[in-house]
Structure 1
Amino acid sequence: MAEGSSGNNGMLYMIVGGLVVVVAVGGFIMFGGQMPGQSESKTTNIKIEAPALEKK
């Protein structure tokens, strides 16, 4: 049997867990990004106009 390899898996588990979280968050954002039960997001149109310039 291999010796010394049974106790050092904590870092590997942490890296794999972090990758799972990143993939889950990325999938959530890519496929809509809304939690169940939330209403549709409302949009607001904002119009910005520059002031008129005087001609000399």
Structure 2
Amino acid sequence: MQFALLDPGKTEHPAEKWVDGAVIALILANTVAVILETVEPLYQRNRALFDGFERFSVAFFTL
């Protein structure tokens, strides 16, 4: 069941759309975060936020 949610077109389960949307949104958010981390003053002020978001993302993708 878990893998079927990640394979497009395999199921019509409502959770499939949620999982797809969450993965796409998290990928986009990570792209923006990596870009923003290159702005040193912004990164220094929000280091804890960036680090926390990175830990959350790694945990999400690991699951």
* Structure 1 and Structure 2 fold alike (TM over 0.5): no
> Which of the pair is proportionally richer in helix?
2
Q: TM-score, normalised by structure 2?
A: 0.40
Q: TM-score, normalised by structure 1?
A: 0.45
Q: Which has the larger radius of gyration?
A: 1
